[in-house]
Amino acid sequence: MSSSRISHFDKRKNVGYHRNDTPGNVRPSRNGLSSLSETTPPQFIQKGIAIMPDLDQSSRSRRRSTLRLAVAGLIAIAACAWGLGRGDAGAVAAPARRGTPVDVAMVVSRNIIDWRDYSGRLEAVGRVEIRPQVSGILTAVHFKDGSLVKKGEVLFTIDPRPYAAAVERAQAQLASASAHDAYAASELARSKRLVTDDAVSRKDFEERQNDARQAAASVLDARAALRIARLNLEYTQIRAPITGRISRAEVTIGNLVTAGESAPLTTLVSSGELYASFDVDEKDFLRYVDPAGSAVDAALPVYLGLSDESGYPRKGRVSSIDNRLDPSSGTIRVRAVFGNPDGRLVPGLYARIRLGGDKPHNAVLIDEKAVGTDQNRRFVLVLDKENKALYREVHLGATQDGLTIVTDGLQSGERIVVNGLQRVHPGDRVEPHTVSMDVATKASGSAG
């Protein structure tokens, strides 16, 4: 064993080596002890003694050089990582100093009319139940169910023959009465000449005078009977009393209809103008509607829109205000009248109604998109001189031309965030991009 030296096994490192007599035959063991060759005495293995290689001075120098290079590499890597970290932090912090880009608009102030929106129903200005005025067999129906009819247009025809005969009889009776009247008149004239000569008695003269008066009355009676007969003949043609839209025929041809029967033959509603009735609450009534009524009613602007129409395209006028407020609902019934040139307004339709105040006033307006919700509160973000977003609670009113009225919390000329509200928190610095409030409203509307 002249070519090897014996070293105790290092239990802390759990490493042991041995080398055979042949140079270079050194390998580590799996259990911390070297896989000893047959030349190693057994007592060295039992005592934890291994055979270590005999390292020369050049090998130890190479290991120290390698260690220095590794330490230098680690220092260089750490320095690069530290520099990159500072660069990333600067890159992230730079946009924060510039601020979050948002759209900002100036709060506008305009002279407006306060509008209040209500829901109502359309009602016909005129509604007629068509009933027969004479009895007879229904011989014709002259309209199509649901069609528009004009005033005076024939709707139904009742068998006219009995009534035509009644007219002829009345004409005959009138002719007879007229003949008797003429005879009585001539007799009275003759008696007047004879009574002056005492050719007839006073009594006979008075009888002739009475006969003439009765004959004249008979003529009047016959003429009235003829007029009634002619009216009954006219009533066999049932005509539309107003212009409007007619319902379906409730009685068909061949049925006997009776004058004054309870069930109408059909119904007819006017279509030229329609009422829109709606309920106004007590507060709005006292604020916008003059309790004294009279001429102010006509001055109140009122507009209407159907459920499939955008906005309120139909202009009308307030026609009446009820004389009492319903204590159970706290509202009063108001009725406005609207023209119907296109015929789309039909009684019973749902109507959206906008009623305006009588006097214009100045108001602050903003885009509704600029308003945020904080539980039960509404707020906007107002920019100060340093472009910092400040929380401001606001109270909102109705909508006016796409903008929302602010009743409290803002003043005209203040800058608020109108787009990008979700990206900004109170106290953040922003990079404002100034837009017009109307432009912001159109942009939000097109986005919606």
Q: How far apart are CA 421 and CA 410, in angstroms?
A: 17
Say yes or no: 330 and 408 in one domain. no
| Cβ–Cβ under 8 Å, residues 146 and 334 | no
pLDDT at residue 79 in the model:
59
Q: Model-level pTM greater than 0.75?
A: no
Q: What is the pLDDT of residue 291?
A: 57
Query: Which long-range contacts does 392-395 make (Cβ < 8 Å, 24+ apart)?
Result: 392/416
Model pLDDT for residues 202-258, shown as the tens digit of each residue: 788 788 888 889 999 999 999 999 999 999 999 999 999 999 999 999 999 999 999
CATH of the domain at 169: 1.10.287.470
pLDDT digits (tens, 9 = 90+) for 20-58: 444 444 444 444 444 444 444 544 444 444 444 444 555
Residue 1 domain-assigned?
Answer: yes
**Is 253 within 8 Å of 138 (Cβ atoms)?**
yes
Residue 5 forms part of a structural domain: yes
> How many domains does the chain fold into?
5
Average pLDDT of span 339-357:
90
The DSSP line for 136-193 is EEEEEE-S-TT-EE-TT-EEEEE--HHHHHHHHHHHHHHHHHHHHHHHHHHHHHHHHH
Average pLDDT, integer, range 191-198: 77
Taking the C-alpha atoms of residue 136 and residue 162, their distance in angstroms, rounded to an integer, is: 9
User: Which band of pLDDT confidence, cut at 50, 70 and 90, is reported for residue 85?
Assistant: low
Q: What is the pLDDT of residue 167?
A: 96
Q: Contact at 8 Å (CB) between 346 and 328?
A: no
Question: Is residue 17 over pLDDT 50?
Answer: no
pLDDT value for 293: 52
Do the domain assignments include residue 242?
Answer: yes
Report d(CA 423, CA 389) in Å as an integer. Answer: 11
Lowest-confidence region among 31-35, 155-159, 274-278: 31-35
Could you tell me how many residues make up the chain? 448
Question: Which two tokens mark 175?
Answer: 């002719």
Asked if 306 contacts 351 with a C-beta cutoff of 8 angstroms, the reply is yes
325 and 251 in a common domain: no
Helix (H) / strand (E) containing 287: helix 282-288
- On whether both 47 and 73 belong to a single domain, the answer is no
Same domain membership, residue 375 and residue 352 = no
Domain end, chosen from 329, 356, 383, is at 356
Among the listed residues 441, 439, 400, the one whose alpha carbon sits nearest the alpha carbon of residue 112: 400
How far is 220 from 228, CA to CA, in rounded Å?
Answer: 12
Same domain? 246 vs 293: no
In a domain, 136, yes or no: no
pLDDT above 90 covers what percent of the chain? 46
Average pLDDT value for residue range 306-329 = 91
Question: Is there a domain that residue 379 lies in?
Answer: yes
Mean pLDDT of 341-355: 91
**Do 257 and 177 fall into the same domain?**
yes
Q: What pLDDT shows up at residue 287?
A: 79
> How high is the pLDDT of residue 37?
44
Where is 301: in which H helix or E strand?
Answer: strand 301-306
Question: Is 30 within a domain?
Answer: yes
- Check whether residue 154 and residue 221 sit in a common domain: yes
pLDDT tens string 62-73: 666 666 776 666
**Mean pLDDT over each residue of the chain, to the nearest integer:** 80
Q: Are residues 382 and 410 in the same domain?
A: yes
Tell me the residue range of the domain where 190 lies: 149-265
CB of 439 within 8 A of CB of 104? no
Domain boundary among 307, 333, 356: 356
Residue 313: give its domain's CATH number. Answer: 2.40.30.170
pLDDT range class, residue 160, cuts 50, 70, 90: very high
Same domain, 160 and 219: yes
Q: Is the pLDDT of residue 284 over 80?
A: yes
Looking at 212, 243, 265, the residue that finishes a domain is 265
Q: Do the domain assignments include residue 87?
A: yes
Q: Given this model, what pLDDT does residue 63 score?
A: 66
- Please check the confidence at residue 436 and state whether its pLDDT lies above 90: no
- Cα separation of the two ends of the chain: 95
Q: Are residues 107 and 3 in the same domain?
A: no
In a domain, 138, yes or no: no
Determine the pLDDT at residue 61: 65
For the stretch 132-156, pLDDT in tens is: 999 999 999 999 999 999 999 999 9
Are 261 and 330 contained in the same domain?
no
Residues 89 and 11 in one domain: no
